[in-house]
Amino acid sequence: MRRFLVAGNWKMHGSSEMTADLISGVARRVLDAARLSEQKELGYDILVCPSAPYLSQAVDCSESQPISVGAQNVSQFDSGAYTGEISLSMLAELGCKYVLLGHSERRMLFNESDKEVAEKFSACLDHSLIVPILCIGETLAQRQAGQTEDVVAAQLDAVIDTVGITGFANAVIAYEPVWAIGTGETASPEQAQDVHAFIRAKLDGLSAEIAQAVRIVYGGSVKPSNADEQFAQKDIDGGLIGGASLQVSSFAGICEAVQKIIEKT
Ligand code: PGA
């Protein structure tokens, strides 16, 4: 069975105080919900992705807590004259375990191309210490034009063509319809499940084993009030959470939805 992942994408929000309070507050709530008095293995994974200046502090705060830390972006290059960029070795040295790749805000606001995203994904595999979370998803106009599957397939193909299907053996996919990000409008559980099933079926055509094992999380206005019905879908293995990851109550509430699903199964 695939392990759920609840990942918080803080985007360009946060402070030192928030980093400390959020990590300790969420850890306390999820351990209570799991009735664990001290840090033990939860039955699922929790990840926070703060802005780069807070990564080191976040790693310190999450030590001996059931929370991992990831970055929101990384360079495809190892080192060199790339002002403002951060390398995978640097992230690994800080203690990061994951990195978001190709978030729609990076694709749209910073013109990140499919090719660059694929190069970053490939660099993660070479590096092997940091798990890539590949973000894909269609815009509203693309959905309305009936192009959702074509768009998602093309974004996946750009990476598969570079790294092959085996590149997904240790990766996460985040399906995030652009029209649902930060808008308060969530894809219905059926809409999300349909695209997740499409993604899994596409991978299945290349490797049944990898398709069954890869975690596909949903992102786009996930909140405690809709997390349970999203996560109950067969091919949805957790969430990538933006706005609701910035507060202990909402992020922990989403984690608790996973805890309940695990206890029922
Ligand atoms: P949202 O953001 O939860 O605020 O919609 C999700 C994301 O951008 O990853």
Does the pLDDT value for residue 40 go beyond 70? no
- CA 182 to ligand 1 center in whole angstroms: 5
Range 198-210 average pLDDT: 98
Task: Give the model's pLDDT for residue 235.
Answer: 98
Residue 182: CB within 6 Å of ligand 1? yes
Confidence of residue 227 (pLDDT cuts 50, 70, 90): very high
pLDDT, residue 38, reads 58
> Which of 10, 221, 223, when mutated, tests ligand 1's pocket best, judged by the most ligand atoms within 8 Å of its CB?
221
Which domain covers residue 213, as residue numbers? 5-264
- Distances 133 to 29, 33, 49, 81 between C-alpha atoms, Å: 25, 27, 11, 26
Residue 114 has pLDDT above 80, yes or no: yes
Position 265 confidence tier, pLDDT thresholds 50, 70, 90: confident
The conformation of residue 131, written as its DSSP 8-state character, comes to E
Is 176 near ligand 1, meaning CB less than 6 Å away? yes
Q: What is the mean pLDDT of the chain?
A: 96
| Annotated active-site residue in 103, 112, 196, 256 | 103
pLDDT greater than 70 at residue 147: yes
Closest Cα to atom 6 of ligand 1: 242
Q: Report the percent of the chain where pLDDT is more than 70.
A: 98
pTM over 0.85: yes
- What CATH code is carried by the domain that includes residue 59? 3.20.20.70
The pLDDT, as a whole number, for residue 89 is 97
Residue 181 Cβ contacting ligand 1 at under 6 Å: yes
220 Cβ inside 6 Å of ligand 1: yes
The residues, any chain, with a CB within 8 Å of residue 12's CB and separated by 6 or more, are 51
Q: Which of 147, 141, 120 is nearest to 131 (CA)?
A: 120
Domain count across the chain: 1
Each residue of 46-87: pLDDT tens digit? 999 999 999 999 999 999 899 999 999 999 999 999 999 999
